[in-house]
Amino acid sequence: MAGGHGHGHGHGHDGHGAATPTPVLPSGAFLAPGNVELNWVEKMYLPEIVKGLGNTFSHLFKKTFTVDYDGTHREDPRKFHVPSEGYRGEHYLKKDEAGHVKCVACFMCAAACPAECIHIEAEAVPADWKDRERYPKRFEIDLLRCIYCGMCEEACPVDAIALSTTYNVVSETRESKVYARERLLQRGEELGISMSKHQYRPDGIPGHVPEQKQSH
Amino acid sequence: MAPYLWKLIPILLVFGGILAIVPLLVYLERKICALIQERMGPNRVGLFGPDSPLEVFGFKMGEKRVLGGLLQPLADAIKLIAKEDIIPPQVERYLYEFAPFFALLPPFLAFAVIPIGADLQVGDTAVPLVVADVGVGFLWVLAVASLSAYGVALGGWASNNKYALLGGIRATAQMISYEIGLGMALIAVAMQYQTVEPVSIVAQQVEGGFWHWGIFRQPLAFMLFLICAFAENNRLPFDLPECEAELIGGYHTEYSSMKFGMFFQGEYIAMLTMGGLLATFFLGGWHYPFYEAIREGAGPLIATLLSLVSFGVKTMAFVVFSMWVRWTLPRFRYDQLMRIGWKGIIPVALANIVLTALINIR
């Protein structure tokens, strides 16, 4: 016992200060800060076990935290997970008012991409496109490489590419996970948000559009 | 009919019943675990609904899931049987193959001396619903229960893997330690009822009625038996032999396919056996309130069937309780386990024996 106290000072647990000396168990073992020594009732375990059993029993009848996901019941919130509006899922490309792809093939997204999953081939625009010089002849995203960081979306100067909230991205072949330009445009149309004008996250709720991004 | 043919009835009831209930226990365990953790648990593979296995055979089972997940253990069993049975090159081949059987067999054997219901009246012969009414009584249970340590120890040693070996050593030390407590708790019961035969102990509880159940006569022995039962079954809070965090899976680390399945099954059968023993010694066996009145009124057959149900409910009560405890308590440390066993349970069990002796002085 005396040896235990001696150790207590010898090891110098200075962080606790003089007012609250480190509690020392009879065996000389130290208690972690914040822990209390058990009294004899607690040392018998049984009353505490009963308390714990009562706790878990009350959880038996609580509403489950998880959803019964089967991917089909989109309208039922108990069967389908609705991600928050900031969720980064599958990509899509937007169109401008003329119905052309909005992308100007500046390669900013491909440069920003840490996974190097975006491949663009640029081409000079047809003569009747007056608003820019280039457009992507080929635009591919390899979703198997993609890490869904959203940096392409951040980098894009014309808000042509964005990440949707679609998280169910399963497919049966590797090839089908490389999304070409048409597929990406089509995804945007399917989501009904393809035509939306210069917005940071057009799939979000109005009012969630940051001020800075709207200016360009 | 020859009298030994009647013996087939309890044999089929006991062993068929156990094998039929084990998959149900797996489902129950997973469901209880999920509910305590506020999850869904297995909810797909059911009899009805779009994920029904019957759809494979061309039956249309409707769009709505009813009791989904109930057939999940069936799917698991098919998976276990169909999986590749990997035998690592470094194992001691014969003992490695032998150990799962040793884990599976003892709980079955222990169940043999437990009476599962009132005598079945067929004409003027009374068929006792117990597989073997042996004179040594629960000594048989203790002897056979010790064997199950071999399954774990052999499995751990033969795997030639340090984690498995550690698990096996822990299991052996734990089971031997807690067997002493288990046996001493039962000695007090034997002193109380002046016999070691389970059939006779149950008969005395039935004759005496509700207040003669072991739980009221020997409450301390009941508590000790309950705690030791958890330790004997290697269930939480005493599941150190498995101990996923430190030992991967303990003694069954190197086992795959149905050999792992047999260890798994053995654990659940051991739970059922412990539940059966607990019911027999402390909860009046197959006895239920108003047994005499029902036997007089509705006939012996109905009374016997109800006694089977009663025994089943009591056994399942222990099993469900042990699942509930499993998802409540954390695991004990090894030194805590040994301290509880040798410094806690054994002295209390000894004191209980002395107390029982003093009370029963005639």
pLDDT digits (tens, 9 = 90+) for B14-41: 888 898 899 889 999 998 999 999 888 8
- pLDDT of B206-216, one tens digit each? 888 778 888 88
Which one, of B200, B141, B211, B150, lies nearest residue B176 by Cα? B150
Report the alpha-carbon distance of residue B6 to residue B122 in Å, rounded. Answer: 9
| Minimal Cβ distance to B36: which of A46, A60, A63 | A60
Under 8 Å between Cβ of B352 and B188: yes
Q: Which residues of B touch A63 (CB under 8 A)?
A: 38
Which one, of A7, A54, A53, A52, lies nearest residue A30 by Cα? A7
| Minimal Cβ distance to B324: which of A53, A62, A68 | A53
Categorize the per-residue pLDDT at B321 as very low, low, confident or very high, splitting at 50, 70 and 90.
very high
Categorize the per-residue pLDDT at A208 as very low, low, confident or very high, splitting at 50, 70 and 90.
very low
Q: Is A95 helix (H, G, I), strand (E, B) or coil?
A: strand
Per-residue pLDDT at B85:
86
Q: Are the Cβ atoms of B38 and A59 closer than 8 angstroms?
A: yes
Report the alpha-carbon distance of residue A112 to residue A124 in Å, rounded. Answer: 23
- Taking the CA atoms of chain A, what radius of gyration do you get in angstroms? 30
Q: Which two tokens stand for residue B224?
A: 């000790």
The CA distance from A42 to the nearest CA of chain B, in Å, is 14
Least confident of A47-61, A63-77, A137-151, B31-45: A63-77
Strands A161-163, B117-122: pairing kind: unpaired
Q: Does B37 touch chain A (CB under 8 A)?
A: yes
Under 8 Å between Cβ of B325 and B236: yes
Angle between helix axes B138-158 and B93-111 (nearest 10 degrees) is 160
Tell me the ipTM for this assembly.
Answer: 0.77
The CA distance from A11 to the nearest CA of chain B, in Å, is 25
pLDDT at residue A213 greater than cutoff 80: no
CA B94, chain centre distance (Å) = 27
Q: Are the Cβ atoms of A57 and B43 closer than 8 angstroms?
A: no
Per-residue pLDDT at A94:
84
Q: Are the Cβ atoms of B40 and A49 closer than 8 angstroms?
A: no
Q: Is B40 buried (19+), middle (13-18) or exposed (0-12) by CB count in 10 A? A: middle
Categorize the per-residue pLDDT at B319 as very low, low, confident or very high, splitting at 50, 70 and 90.
very high
Categorize the per-residue pLDDT at A21 as very low, low, confident or very high, splitting at 50, 70 and 90.
low
Q: Are the Cβ atoms of A60 and B43 closer than 8 angstroms?
A: no
- pLDDT of A25-45, one tens digit each? 666 666 677 777 777 777 778
Phi first, then psi, for residue A121 (nearest 5°) are -120, 120
Query: Which residues 6+ apart lie within 8 Å of A182 measured at CB?
Result: none
pLDDT at residue B203 greater than cutoff 70: yes
User: Mean pLDDT, chain B, as a whole number?
Assistant: 85
Q: Which residues of A touch B325 (CB under 8 A)?
A: 49, 53
What is the number of alpha carbons within 13 Å of residue A170 lying toward its C-beta?
A: 2
The set of long-range contacts for A147-152, using a CB threshold of 8 Å and a minimum separation of 24, is: A147/A114, A147/A115, A148/A88, A148/A89, A149/A88, A149/A114, A149/A115, A150/A88, A151/A109, A151/A112, A151/A113, A151/A114, A152/A91, A152/A109, A152/A110, A152/A112, A152/A113, A152/A118
What is the number of alpha carbons within 13 Å of residue B48 lying toward its C-beta?
A: 6
Q: Which of B31, B33, B40 best tests the A interface by mutation, with the highest count of A CBs <10 A? A: B40
Nearest CA in chain A to B223: A46
The share of chain B scoring above pLDDT 90, in percent, equals: 14
Which range of A202-211, B18-27, B244-253 scores highest in mean pLDDT? It is B18-27
Q: Which residues of A touch B328 (CB under 8 A)?
A: 49, 52-53, 55-56
CA A21, chain centre distance (Å) = 45
- pLDDT of A101-131, one tens digit each? 888 888 889 999 999 999 999 988 888 777 7
Under 8 Å between Cβ of A81 and A67: yes
Under 8 Å between Cβ of B275 and B315: yes
Q: Which residues of A touch B40 (CB under 8 A)?
A: 64, 66, 68
Q: Which residues of A touch B323 (CB under 8 A)?
A: none
Residue with tokens 């006779």: B200
> What is the model's pTM?
0.75
CA geometry: angle B6, B12, B16, nearest 5 deg:
170
Which one, of B252, B97, B258, lies nearest residue B168 by Cα? B252
pLDDT at residue B99 greater than cutoff 70: yes
Phi first, then psi, for residue A112 (nearest 5°) are -75, -25
